[in-house]
Each structure stands twice: as C-alpha cells, then as structure tokens.
Chains A and B, each alone.
Chain A
Amino acid sequence: MKPNLTLAVFAAWLSVIPLLQARLNVVATTPDFAAVAKSIGGDLVEITTLARPTEDPHFVDAKPSLILKLNRAEVLLEGGAELEAGWLPSLLAGARNPRIAAGSPGHVVCNQDVPMMETPATLDRSEGDIHARGNPHYMTDPANARIVASHLADVFCRIDPKSAETYRANLKKFLDELAVKMADWHKTLAPYQGRQMVAYHNAWPYFARRFGLKIALFLEPKPGLPPTPTHLAEVIARMKKEQVSVIFVEPYLDRRTAETVARGTGAKVIDVAYLPGGIKGTENDYIKLMDYLVTSVAKALADPAK
C-alpha cells in the first residue's frame, strides 16, 4: 500500500510541475538575441543561450548538452545569416523538436526584415570565408535591434497570447529607452563623423554606418585568414597616412597582434564585443553593451593620434 501511495503523490507532483513552469522556454543561439528577448519577455520567459558571450560564435562546439536544450525549447532564435552554420544544423538534427523545426512558428529567424549589408553578388571562397546572406553582425546597429525586438514581441504574442499585453508593454519600454539612448549616442559620436578605425575582423559595418564612422581596414587580410606580416605592414602604413588612432579587438581575438600594430602607429587598442557579456558588466543587457561601445569609441577618438 505504502509504495503505491508514495508513487501516487510523486506522480501528482510531477504532473503539477509543468503547470508551475509557465515560463516560455526560449533558446537563443547568441547572447545578443538573448538580451533583447529578455527585455521583451521579462519574467515570463526562461532564456538559454547556446554560445557563450566571450567565445567565437562562428565555432561553438555542438555539444550534446546543447542538443538537450534545443529538445526542450519552445522558441529558437537564430541569426539567419549563417553565423551558426558550422554548428547549429548538427544540433537541430538531434533535437527532435517539432516546435523549433525549420518553418515552425517557434523557429525564429531574427534577420527577417533587417536590411543586410555586404550580401555578395557571387559566392567565391577565394574571397575568404564570406557569408552568403550578408554580414551577420547586424545587431551592432541599434536600428536593427528595434526591428528584431518588434519581431520578437510579435512571436511571443503569437505563441503566448495570454501574456500579449505584458510583451507589448515591455517592448514599448525597451523601444522608448532605446530611442532616448540613440539620441544620446548620436550626440556623443557626432563630432567624429567620418573618422576611420581599424578592426581585427569585419564585424562592424552596421555600427559604422549608423554612427557615421568608417571601419574598413582590417587586420585579417581576408575574412577568416590570420594576419600576415605583409598585410600588417600595409595596415600600419595606411593607418599612419589616414591618422587612424583606434583598433577594435573582440575578447576572443589575439590582442597581441593588435597591440603590435598599435605600437607601430601610436594608436589605441579598445576591447569591443558585439555580444552582451563579452565585456564585463554588459551581461544580458543590449543597451548597456551599446552604451559601453559608444562611450569607449568616443573616448578613444577624443585623444588625438600621436
């Protein structure tokens, strides 16, 4: 008798758990979508991110634990620009989750309606590892974050209609805050229109375009190729000619190469990240990350090149 009773109680408790966990289970491939989703969903969503903020998001290991996360997800947020092409398909193949299969409402392609830059006219790997659907780092432009935020709010409202009001309210709050911040950011960077900067990897065209900066010189000779001494010499020469004083380096890139170039030109290396959490203090907060980027860039550009 006793074992039956405990079993019954246990079974009853198990059946109650799904009711208790009413939060929407959202899995994002990278922390930028996770941060925006958190702003829209608040306490109504439980967000897991597959790529960690400090790692190179092109090369995440398709670990079995990530398959598990996808198996249990109700919503999947992916970039849609092939950044995750090296690892997401293999995870989805084992996920067995119809809710996030391609084409399902729970499979969200975040760059829907986002105007992509640098979509190649032809595909040719002699140009390096170019992305067929355009430069995937579109979240560095807050205008695109607006589009993504609205899209996510639509998705959440569609999948979880009873909380639609809260999602809309959160969206409004996020967009309002973003609008205020955008005005500030434009003001902060206004004096530096047209200034040229150097980046290790071509991840900043959207940011540059939005704020009127030029980031067209890279330490990588072609996307994905490591810096070579010849190329670095060219970069140094151009930096001196055009008075470039700032070098962008992501947390997973080789800072020493950037520092060598900086020493040769009197420029400054600044730590940047396009994923919230890549810089300490910006975890899960898209606006804080953009704030940090704008402030660091402005500060770095304020110092004249030596």
Chain B
Amino acid sequence: MKRSIITSVCTVLCLSGVMSSAQQANQPDQVQELRHQLLQLRETFERAEREHRQQIDALQKQIEALRQSKPQPASTPLQALPEPGAASSIPPTPGIEKQGWSPADPIRIGGGRAYMDIGLVGTFAVGGSTADDIEGGTQLGGHDPNQRGFTIQGVEVNFAGAVDPYFRANANLAYLLDSEGESSFELEEAWMETIALPANLQVRAGQYLTEFGRLNTQHPHSWSFVDVPLVNGRFLGPDGLRNPGMRVSWLAPTPFYSEVFLGVQNSQGETAYSFRNDHEGEPLFGRQVSRGQVNSIGDLLFTPRYAASFDLSDTQTVMAGASAGFGPNGSGADTDTQIYGIDLFWKWKPSNHHGGFPFVAWQTEVMLQRYQAGSTFDGSYETDGDGSYLPEETLTDWGLYSQIAWGLHKNWIAAFRCDYVTRADKADYEYVLGDDPHRLPRWRLSPNLTWFPTEFSKLRLQYNYDDREEIGVDHSVWLQLEMSLGAHAAHKF
C-alpha cells in the first residue's frame, strides 16, 4: 500500500514536473511565437502608417498646387481649429477686417502693400552762427544748415522694392534749398542690385553713393550729427562721393564677416569733387580745373574697399574697413587724385536693451588725399600776382573725425564729435598765391543731444566750436527737426 502511494505520488510529481518543464520548454516557443507575431503586427502597422503618410503628403501637394494656382485672398482671419480635449476654449473674436479699397479712400502705401515701398524724410534746421561764411565756410556739407535762420536740409523721397526675383532697386530723390533760396532737385541714388548671384557675389549698378568709409553711404537723416564731418566735406565733397557706375562685391567664406568691394564710376561732375570736377569755373588749389575727357578706362574713378566685422562678445561688435579712390582730376593734362581712408566702428548694446537703448557707438574715420596738381602758367584769372608759373606738385592733405554716441535712455542720444583736417605741408602754389583756406588746418568740436519722440520724428540740438587757422574761432548753434512718412526703411549697421 505504502509503496503504491509513494509510487503514485512520485509519478504525479514527476508528471507534473515533466508537464511543467514541458510547459517551460513550451514557454520559449510560445514567447518566440508571440514575439514573431508582434514583429509581424508592427511591420504591418508601420507599412500602413507609411502608406497613410504618403497619401497625406500627396493630398497636401495637391492642396499646395491648388493654392498656388488660385490667387491669394487678402488676409482674412480663419476660424481657429477645434482643440481636442480643450476644456473651455473661447471662440475667437474676428480681428478687424481689412476693408476693400474704394475710390473714396486715400492710397496708403506701406511696407509690403504695393510692389514698392515709398518713404519721405524731411529734415529742417534753424539756428545761427558767429561766422559770416556759413555755407561752404564753417559748414562744408551741401545738406548742412546753411544760414542764420531756417534751412531746408533736405526733403528726401525714397523708393525701394524688389524688381523681380533677380534684382532689388533703390532710388533717392532729394530736394534742397541753398542759402540764397535757390532750389535744387537731385537724383542722389538710383540703383539696382542683384539679390543672389553665385559665388557670394553682388553687383550694384546705377547712380550710387560710393562705398568709401562709413559715412559716405549714409543718408543725412541717419547721421548722428546735424552736419557732415570736415574731412568728408573737404575730400569727398559737399554732397559726398557719388556718380553713375557699377560695383561688384564679394562676401568671403571666412568665419567672420569679410567683404571686398570694387567700384567703377564716372570721374567727372560736382559729386566727384576731388576728381574731374570743374568747380563751376572756380580755381582749385590755385589752378583752373577743367573737366577733361575720358580717353581710356583708366580715366574712370575706381574705388576698392575691404570691410571686416567681428562680434567681440554678445554685446560688442566692431567693424573696420579700408577704402581707396583713384581717378583723374582736372588740374592738369594727366593728373590723378588718390584718396585713402580707414574707418573703425565699435558698438556696445546690452542683451536686454529696450528699443535699442541703452547703447554706445564709437565711429572714427581717417582720410588722406594726394592730389596731383598740374603745372600751369596762369595769366587767366585775377590774383595779386600777374601770371605766375605754378609747377606740377602733389598736394597731400589729411584729416579725421571721431564721434561717440551714447543712447542713454530710450529715444535719447547724447553725442560728441571731434573733427580735424590739415595739410601735410605748405604747397608751392601757396608760397606764390598765399595760404589756401581749403587746405589750412582747422578743427571742430560738436556736442549734441537728440530726442526721438518716436522713431519717426526727431529733434536735435547741436553746438559747433569751429577753429580755423587764420580765420579764428566761430560758434554755431543748430536745432534740427526731422520727420519720416511712409515705409519704415531698415537701418544698416
């Protein structure tokens, strides 16, 4: 009896053991089976998802194609999509609908509303000076305050826009009144520029302000001062260096900004001041200057430039450049002018500035001019000598300005500038005809304070302390007002 019980218990135990081990042996198989099924399921699911994705992509492409073929409607607010699982979503109140234009409405042109941006900037000044020769004397710029009283420094109209996918264009027309009340209407700039050429090139062609230094390309309304620095006025002329021409620039593949420019422009005219400019019959550096003519391509004005910029830190940026201008001048048969310039710009702006304030910006430009003056035996104009022989000589003049602007608080800027221009040495003709006031040393200090009620209007109060050798000291005070209408032009750095 006992044996049979033991046997049956053992058998049961063995059987259960065998069964369980068989089950355990089965379990890997089952797991394998399950794993296999899972893999299959996943593959099927992924395949299905891919097909759905492809279908959705195809549908979206169709929608895109339809959307492109239909004319774009004016931006009307769409209803917001319903939120899955959102508790309480307030239905959106529609924004004020843009009304369709009717003939009773004025035509308002602003950024992106027409094929062209139009803006108008009017700059006016009022003030006085102890000097008797303001226009062309203490003030060298054509846009500078030019009289005791009110000056229309300039009313500038700017047109800008994309011409087509290849070019962008920009035109600037300026209306000015001189101190006599004579109007002039100038085409300051009208150029087209490529949007994207291969090899990081860019071409600009038309009438443009030469990229010489920093200030020459800036329009007067973006200056930090009421007037042009002395060195720009003396070497680049009262209206700056600008002429019809063409300019190629190349953005170098360096980790920092590095750009090379080469411009070719006409070398004659009053805006090529130190080149083939006949100065309206007035002598320059003791000689009558004639316009001469262009005999070869070498008689055009060439202006190479190199500019580089580095971010010294998150809050400081520096920009440096070197420029040169080479071209013939009208002083003699085969005389040239060379102007060299170096410009430096440093700006600090904190990472939590408000409206760009506070900031500190420091800008300096140094220029040197070598003017080959032709030989002449002059008896043709009145001097106190009678017909003196002036030999050919090279006149070297140089000058610099340095200005610092401190944006203390939103819309308030305090600035200070020092100007100095002088000649390297006294020229031969000056021994004959006397010191030339266009070459005598002079310096100027100009503190000012600017208030922008908004970015579209400005008031500026500036004091100039002028010290001109052989003339003496002069004081001037100018109050400048400016307004801007229309498209908001983006500022270059």
Contact = CB atoms under 8 A, between A and B. Distances in A.
Interface of A: 52, 54-56, 58-59, 61-65, 67-68, 71, 82, 85-90, 93-98, 101-103, 113, 115-123, 125, 128-129, 132-134, 143, 146-147, 154, 157, 164-165, 168, 179, 182-183, 186-187, 190, 193, 209-210, 212, 224-226, 251-254
9 contacts: A68-B256, A93-B168, A94-B251, A96-B195, A116-B95, A121-B97, A147-B81, A154-B60, A254-B354
Contacts of B255: 68
Contacts of A59: 353, 355-356
Contact of A182 (B83, B99, B410): B83
Interface stretch (B150-158, B196-204, B231-239): B196-204
Interface in B338-384: 347, 349, 351-356
A99 to B, nearest CB: 8
A115 B93 contact: no
B4 interface: no
Contact of B352 (A67, A87, A119, A251): A251
Given A62-B492, A85-B490, A252-B352, 10 more contacts: A64-B319, A64-B493, A71-B251, A94-B202, A115-B77, A115-B78, A119-B96, A129-B455, A179-B84, A179-B85
**Interface of A, helix, strand, loop or mixed by DSSP:** loop
**Ordered nearest first, which 9 A-B pairs have the shortest CB separation?**
A64-B257, A98-B196, A64-B309, A59-B356, A90-B490, A186-B87, A115-B77, A89-B490, A54-B352
Given A132-B110, A165-B53, A225-B454, A115 B95 contact: yes
B80 interface: yes
B256 A65 contact: yes
Interface string B427-470: 00000000000000000000000000011100000000000000
A243 B69 CA distance: 53
A98 B201 CA distance: 12
Contact of B317 (A63, A102, A183): A63
B270 interface: no
Interface string B219-254: 000000000000000000000000000000001000
A115 B86 contact: no
Contact of B165 (A86, A103, A132, A254): A103
A96 B95 contact: no
Nearest to A194: B90
B111 interface: yes
A68 B490 CA distance: 18
B89 A186 contact: yes
A101 B165 contact: yes
A95 to B, nearest CB: 8
Contacts of A118: 95-96
A101 B195 contact: yes
B298 interface: no
A113 to B, nearest CB: 7
A146 B356 CA distance: 31
Contact of B353 (A56, A63, A113): A56
Contacts of A63: 309, 311, 317, 493
A154 B99 CA distance: 32
A56 B456 CA distance: 18
